[in-house]
């Protein structure tokens, strides 16, 4: 019933959510140009010129990629460019050594992989009338990889406390991410995760309650929009299904 009502709008909402963290970060680069440049220069001792080039690449690459995705023009090139931004930031901000942020960046990459799969035309449309094996389609493996990477976000939300609520949350959350990863009851599991993650995001990352001059404001804002991007990836799973490499697809053959 949910899919019938939202069929026309859900992919657009998913894409907007997915690129939201790039849009927010690109705008932040504009308003915090000197702070970002000084941070990169202080961390890498690369000089103001190279640090400014880094900030410009982040600003232009993210904003132009968002515009292309939203306008549905050259989406594949936009995705590759945003992949490059993720890799660049992972190195520049030393995210490689922070497991939590690394997993979240990989989850963000999973969302882009799903977007890339969505924009990729089916092989059968290129060779009409010629039978193809669904399992060999690169699009199906992009969807599988995107689903698996998306669930990394939820692994960073698990709490290893011994109280009843945390244990229940871990059990339910783990069950849902396994269902999404293997592609079983995928749309229902992904939609449940969207609702759960959105609630957690509003509660824990309420950056609007923190004054803008405090560093915690920017930290929560970044975390909020990064989580929204993962929600966008999950909404793509809800809208488009898990793809050919999934238990839901295999059930049709049984």
Instruction: Answer yes or no: is 144 within a domain.
Output: yes
pLDDT, position 129:
44
Give tens-digit pLDDT for 204-224.
889 999 998 888 998 899 889
pLDDT, position 130:
43
- The predicted model scores a pTM of 0.85
Per the structure, the complete domain to which residue 172 belongs is given by 6-121+140-245
Question: Do 169 and 159 meet the contact criterion of CB atoms below 8 Å apart?
Answer: yes
Rounded to the nearest 10 degrees, what angle do helices 10-31 and 99-119 cross at? 130
Buried b (16+ CB within 10 A) or exposed e, 210-220: eeeeeeeeeeb
Q: What is the CA radius of gyration of the chain?
A: 19
Closest by CA to 223, choosing from 101, 134, 59, 120, is 101
pLDDT over threshold 80, residue 253: no
Distance of alpha carbon 234 from alpha carbon 190, whole angstroms: 6
Question: What is the band of 161 on the pLDDT scale with cuts at 50, 70, 90?
Answer: low
pLDDT over threshold 70, residue 158: no
Give tens-digit pLDDT for 91-114.
998 888 888 888 989 999 999 999
Per the model's pLDDT, the better-predicted residue between 65 and 213 turns out to be: 65
Instruction: Answer yes or no: is 16 within a domain.
Output: yes
Instruction: Answer yes or no: is 163 within a domain.
Output: yes
Instruction: Answer yes or no: is 250 within a domain.
Output: no
pLDDT, position 131:
42
Instruction: Answer yes or no: is 226 within a domain.
Output: yes
Give tens-digit pLDDT for 110-135.
999 999 988 875 444 443 444 444 44
Question: Do 132 and 158 meet the contact criterion of CB atoms below 8 Å apart?
Answer: no
Instruction: Answer yes or no: is 43 within a domain.
Output: yes
Closest by CA to 184, choosing from 146, 233, 241, is 241
Question: Do 210 and 216 meet the contact criterion of CB atoms below 8 Å apart?
Answer: yes
Instruction: State the average pLDDT over residues 67-87.
Output: 94
Question: What is the band of 77 on the pLDDT scale with cuts at 50, 70, 90?
Answer: very high
Instruction: Answer yes or no: is 85 within a domain.
Output: yes
Total number of domains in the chain? 1
Instruction: Answer yes or no: is 183 within a domain.
Output: yes
Give tens-digit pLDDT for 12-48.
999 999 999 999 999 999 999 999 999 999 989 988 8
Distance of alpha carbon 145 from alpha carbon 137, whole angstroms: 13
pLDDT, position 120:
76
Instruction: State the average pLDDT over residues 161-171.
Output: 76
Please give the share of the chain, as a percent, with pLDDT higher than 70: 91
């Amino acid at each position: 019933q949910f899919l019938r009502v939202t069929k026309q709008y859900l992919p657009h909402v998913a894409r907007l959510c997915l690129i939201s963290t790039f849009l927010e970060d690109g705008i932040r680069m504009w308003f915090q140009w000197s702070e970002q440049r000084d941070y990169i220069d202080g961390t890498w001792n690369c000089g103001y010129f190279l640090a400014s080039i880094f900030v410009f690449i982040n600003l232009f690459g993210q904003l132009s990629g968002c515009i292309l995705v939203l306008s549905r023009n050259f989406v594949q090139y936009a995705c590759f460019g945003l992949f490059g931004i993720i890799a660049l930031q992972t190195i520049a901000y030393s995210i490689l050594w922070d497991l939590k942020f690394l997993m979240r960046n990989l989850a963000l990459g999973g969302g882009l992989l799903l977007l890339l799969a969505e924009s990729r035309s089916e092989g059968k449309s290129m060779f009409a009338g010629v039978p193809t094996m669904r399992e060999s389609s690169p699009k199906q493996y992009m969807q599988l990889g995107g689903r698996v990477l998306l669930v990394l976000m939820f692994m960073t939300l698990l709490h290893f406390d011994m109280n009843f609520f945390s244990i229940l949350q871990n059990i339910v959350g783990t069950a849902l991410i396994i269902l999404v990863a293997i592609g079983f009851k995928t749309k229902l599991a992904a939609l449940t995760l969207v609702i759960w993650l959105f609630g957690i995001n509003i509660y824990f990352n309420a950056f609007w309650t923190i004054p803008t001059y405090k560093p915690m404001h920017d930290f929560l804002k970044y975390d909020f929009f990064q989580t929204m991007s993962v929600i966008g990836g999950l909404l793509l799973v809800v809208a488009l299904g898990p793809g050919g490499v999934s238990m839901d697809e295999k059930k049709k053959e049984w």
